[in-house]
A and B are shown apart, each in its own frame.
Chain A
Amino acid sequence: MIGWAIRRLGQSLLVVLLMTLVVFIGLNAIGNPMDILVGEDLNQAERLAAIAHLGLDKPLWQQYLLFLKGAVQGNLGQSFVYHEDAMRLILQRLPATFELAFCALLLAIVLGVPLGMFAGTYPDHPLSKILMASSIVGFSLPAFWVALMMIMLFSIKLGWLPASGRGETRELFGIQWSFLTLDGLQHLILPALNLALFKISLVLRLTRAGVREVLPQEYVKFARAKGLSPVRVMCMHVMRNTMIPLVTVLAMELGSTIAYAVVTESIFAWPGAGKLILDSINMLDRPVVVAYLMVVVVIFVVLNLIVDGLYYVLDPRVRAQVKP
């Protein structure tokens, strides 16, 4: 177990290192940030001084080593635009993005799992057929367009829900959260639902497929024959075995939800990391882009590790493989 964990951890660190290289080289190919940051009225000497100040005069490999050294210390440079620590900027905005992504995932589970269980248990019921058809539409819906339509319907026409910003926030553990106030919750509903649409379809289909695969198994018949109540069979025997693929996909989906929040945040003016990164790409604010990418890469790698760990807990077969 420990050897396995160390090997997994080593692989993960290698991926992170590789991504720093890719991100760094890729971003250095994007135009010269000096053209945007420095006004044209500067003379040559002032220009060179500014370049030296930002460390852009050193050769690329030296810049990369300096960047790596800084990254290990959690320092990814100053934002060219905000003149603040890039890492701190990202971390300040990250809770808002996390809040949105978690709510979206929660919605996907709360709606997708029961509906998927229903569609899997009664595959010929008309409601199941409607659910499956709508899940194809759910997969196909362009999320950004749905977001606009939601704003038009619920905010402009009906005036039920606000369409931009986080609303009133309250502090918990030194971080501002929207879900703790009524106003904040109202602001959260539309963006979270928008981000969740695709996931609801995904969870529904996965749960249905899992239930349909598990139901004809011998152990389910045996559990029924033992006289266990249908609810108990469903929860203890069917769901436990359906959970395994679901957990993997959901953990990975959390990562992609954070990434896709870029779109949702920019439409609903949700002040999270996604909106920051979009602005930073447009302004060629290299350190912020790099910091964001590094944070997302680390989140992904950590999620991957957690998934493997969960596999270990949920699936006795994996435990049996790893132990010897």
Chain B
Amino acid sequence: MSQVSVTPVKAPVFKPQSPWRRNLDEFKSSPVAVAGLVVLLTIIAIAALAPWIVFQNPYDLMQLNVLDARLPPGTANVDGGYTYWLGTDGQGRDLLSAIIYGLRISLWVGIGSAVIAAVLGTLLGLLSAYVGGWVDALLMRLVDLLLSFPVILMALMILAWLGKGVGNVMLTLVVLEWAYYARTARGQALTESRREYVDAARGQGIGAWRIVVGHILPNCLPPLIVIGALQIARGITLEATLSFLGLGVPITEPSLGLLIANGFQYMLSDEYWISFYPGLALLVTIVAINLVGDQLRDVLNPRLQR
């Protein structure tokens, strides 16, 4: 008998890929979104490290020199220590330093309020889906009501009531934003709760809240993350708008919106930079967040998954 040589067939190697890895690979498919992410991370790093980067602390009145007020970009300061690359504002602040500190406030307000609203809204949404009945009806009517009126109008009202302040602006944003998360979390939870894995978990005798938080919540996360990204951008814009109108942050700690507002009065005398550069910083930040958010939406959308 001749020997039959069997060439072993190589089994296809199945490399288990973690969902993080897969999403990351998909995210990288758009160079524009990657550029947005790089810009965004750079901005966050600059804002976080602000005190070690800037020439002067723009909130420390002792460091400001009124003689340096409204200098055009590129002028050296009176003491000759450093150059005002982006000029100075009406109080003699180095505009670059003020922008970096302003970014800090804008990002803090935008991200902070989005995180609080996300936690609060998601919990209320899950509660609504889980308890049902009149709690669900009441919460969802409240959400409908909140979402049917323009954000700026509600914000004007709440801030007219609370007064200025970083904390108050954040509170306003949380009040306006939680409804988006609540509605999405509720809808997702209701869909997920009919899936088989939930039945399986129930069959194992796992407690109700553990099923909701440990099994249903992780599967609700993708759309919530997308909403979060877009809400951060909206929150930052809204904070800037409110501060511009004089209802947001106090004048002693100018965010980007307030810097732009302060420059408005000097624009007529052709001193454009005081309003221009803070706005540019705001624009770049928001475009970067929106680019990342847009790509996240495509990556995390199960209908588009290959």
Contacts and interface: CB of A to CB of B under 8 A. Distances in A.
Interface of A: 15, 18, 23, 26-27, 29-30, 133, 136-137, 139-145, 148-149, 151-152, 156, 255-256, 259-260, 262-263, 266-267, 277-278, 281-282, 289, 293, 296-297, 300, 304
Given A145-B283, A152-B272, A259 B290 contact: no
A26 B294 CA distance: 37
B65 to A, nearest CB: 26
Contacts of B237: 140, 142
Interface of A is mostly: helix
A142 B279 contact: yes
9 contacts: A23-B157, A27-B157, A139-B290, A140-B286, A143-B241, A148-B260, A148-B267, A149-B279, A151-B267
B157 A144 contact: no
A263 B153 CA distance: 11
B124 to A, nearest CB: 19
A152 B233 CA distance: 26
B244 to A, nearest CB: 5
B279 A18 contact: no
B156 interface: yes
A205 to B, nearest CB: 11
A266 B247 CA distance: 13
Interface string B259-287: 01001100110101001100100110011
A157 to B, nearest CB: 8
B150 interface: yes
Nearest to A263: B241
Interface in B71-111: none
A26 B157 contact: yes
B276 A149 contact: yes
B279 A156 contact: no
A-B pairs, 3 with minimum CB distance:
A145-B279, A259-B150, A256-B150
B203 to A, nearest CB: 39
A136 B275 CA distance: 22
A141 B260 CA distance: 14
Contacts of A256: 150, 152
Contact of A136 (B149, B241, B264, B291): B291
